[in-house]
A and B are shown apart, each in its own frame.
Chain A
């Protein structure tokens, strides 16, 4: 049974927002983006992140949009598409669009809500403020982003090599 339901009603009034933040913190801390970053720092950052709600079939972004940040799926499912082809299916706890945290480049694919979903936007201004205020953790986050992007590059190279061999 969910323990949170045992709280008296008046406690829920005060707990609601904090519980939501803790839930988002838990999701972010499980991602490689926040590897080796203490929860207290993630909590401070998550307080300023931006929850948005999308209905099934809504476009989150389209190819060519200038992105403002990374997106975490708090609930629901997202399809990452190139034209009609589905490149990836993402679920609760997955994140995407992290390239926009570091560069002003256009998005390289479409993201469509395949179910109703709640997304948490982690935007570049939030990141910059946070890096400025907590430089050590900021450096760790930047190292994590570099690792993720390097992984993506390696994956793309492998795919190219496979295609060449074929």
Chain B
């Protein structure tokens, strides 16, 4: 009879699914804190080099963690007092423009209807515009409530995230060592190797996409401002956030500026072209300069895997799912490959 230990692929699949189940269970139990935890890990990846730099200058781990915490608190205070009100103001301005936008869409669809009827084709613009208008009107009514809810969530995150990040910077390595020391002697080195590969890739990827997202937000904000688009900082921030989603994000990022351009007092095709142009130019800068310098081959996944992964993760976990799809897939890939290679050897010897 063949033993499981003689079937490396089956063994690695069993261990892989056990690890994934454990990760899924942890995510389920920690659901209310999941976003602050993910953000804290992202900030840990971003600020750990700062802590290392301070330690190189002779400070202890504790002191450097406190200094990083202070830096985070300053950033959060600046965010809450300057960036949030600016974004809220621009969001309210955007909300005020929605009736004008629908007015334009209605007249545009009526023009299309006239043209189509000239060719003997039937077209009912109300079938499209009415549901859209009712959704937008609901969204408009809820915008202030949504914004205040968002601000409450953000305030909780503003308190939790720096705290979690502080403890990660101070204690993560010890906690990691203790967790990996639980591995049995036989799998100790293999476990460390897999952890090491995952951690290295994720560190490069997370640090890279945060910086990439920030650069995209700044470049597009400046571009929108130059071309006179309303709410440039809000649109730039949205473009930066959407850029966290590969392939699909840049396409989605074009939608808000086009809507704003369509809502201009006078129909201006140059403004619409500029809105699209800014996103395309920012994408060119991103692909030619930013990606090769910051991310390069951080995750070696096939584009189809990436797109399918984004769709599936997006379907189950929404916007956050679309962002975590790539690191989650890359991690799974490294774990499965590491297990398969590591366990295959057991059979050969």
Contacts and interface: CB of A to CB of B under 8 A. Distances in A.
Nearest to A124: B196
What is the interface of chain B mostly: helix, strand, loop, or mixed?
Answer: helix
B219 to A, nearest CB: 31
What is the interface of chain A mostly: helix, strand, loop, or mixed?
Answer: mixed
B173 A48 contact: yes
A52 B349 contact: no
A62 B52 contact: no
Contact of A66 (B55, B181, B189): B189
Interface stretch (B10-18, B210-218, B340-348): B340-348
Given A50-B177, A50-B181, A134 B56 contact: yes
Nearest to A123: B192
A52 B190 contact: no
B227 interface: no
A70 to B, nearest CB: 11
B348 A64 contact: yes
Interface residues of B, number: 22
B192 A68 contact: yes
A133 interface: yes
Contacts of B81: none
Nearest to B186: A59
Contacts of A59: 186
B109 to A, nearest CB: 60
A66 B342 contact: yes
User: Counting chain A CB atoms within 10 Å of each CB, which of B181, B189, B192 scores highest?
Assistant: B189
Contacts of B186: 59
Contact of A64 (B52, B55, B345): B345
B188 interface: yes
B64 to A, nearest CB: 11
Contacts of B189: 61, 65-69, 121, 123
Q: Which 10 A-B pairs have the closest CB atoms?
A: A68-B189, A68-B192, A125-B196, A64-B345, A68-B193, A62-B349, A64-B349, A133-B52, A133-B56, A123-B192
Given A50-B181, A68-B196, 17 more contacts: A50-B180, A52-B188, A58-B185, A60-B185, A63-B349, A64-B348, A65-B345, A66-B190, A67-B189, A68-B188, A69-B192, A121-B188, A123-B189, A125-B196, A129-B52, A129-B173, A133-B56
